[in-house]
A = this chain, B = another copy of it.
Amino acid sequence: MKNVVLASTSTLYGEKYLQYLLPVMQELFAGIEEIVFIPYARPGGISHDEYTARAAAGLAGTGITVKGLHTFADPVQAIREAKGFFTGGGNTFVLVKQLHELKLMDLLSEVVSKGTPYIGASAGSNIGGVNMQTTNDMPIVYPPSFQTMGLMPYNLNPHYQEPIPGVPHMGETRETRILEFHTQQSIPVIGLREGSWIRIKGNEIRLEGSMPAKIFEQGKTPYELAAGSDIKI
């Protein structure tokens, strides 16, 4: 049974790294002592070691330890044997390129679909969707494919926000970009605000956390979905 959390962000404004997600992770990883951390998104270009240490520090006190996927001689075996996964945020292009080049994307999807608990934040949540084509990130590397795990039949837009009133800027809004996505593809998109996460348990997909999400379906006016609602698009 799928057991997945896809969070908009790792960190809420004014809070410590992972602070608001710790209860969610303790429930997700109940009874599990060690999980595999996937550090490939490298926020700000930090090393895999540094990023894994940051994740370990964020989880200090929970009884959950982390081991970086990059430290295993055989990452395929590591994914097959992992008790749980946490994929940190950063650059989605960098993350997806690495997972495809190491032939780990489909394997991770398979293992998580069979029930190994998974939590992603930001870029780590983007890869839970059908493809990474609604990311906000800059294309700083060229991945061999934009396809991701497809743990749900939707795409995500993490850190979703509305335009800020009164700011005289002519760059596209987030909504404009997602509507442009729908000129090319029909996958529904969940605009996931900071403070929200998607909880997948088996066939149930629910919006959790403190904020409504904005739902984009091709050809429909975007609409709000209240926190706590089932997502059935």
Residues of A within 8 A of B (CB): 9, 11-14, 42-45, 91, 93-94, 132-142, 145-146, 158-159, 161, 164, 167-172, 176-185, 194
Contacts and interface: CB of A to CB of B under 8 A. Distances in A.
A183 B133 contact: no
B171 A159 contact: yes
A42 B43 CA distance: 31
A135 B134 contact: no
A37 to B, nearest CB: 20
A73 B137 CA distance: 37
Contacts of A182: 45
Query: What 7 pairs across the A-B complex have the smallest Cβ distances?
Result: A45-B183, A159-B171, A13-B168, A138-B177, A140-B181, A140-B184, A9-B170
Please tell me how many copies of the chain the complex holds.
2
Contacts of A11: 170
Contacts of A137: 172, 177
A222 to B, nearest CB: 14
B164 A167 contact: yes
A184 B141 contact: yes
A167 B169 CA distance: 15
Contact of A146 (B94, B142, B176, B180): B142
Determine which residue in A137, A142, A179, A181 has the highest number of CB atoms from chain B within 10 A of its CB, and name it: A142
A7 to B, nearest CB: 11
Contact of A180 (B12, B140, B142, B145): B140
Contacts of A135: 138-139
Nearest to A194: B170
Contacts of A141: 133, 184
A142 to B, nearest CB: 5
Given A44-B180, A169-B194, A180-B44, A146 B138 contact: no
A197 B50 CA distance: 39
A121 B81 CA distance: 51
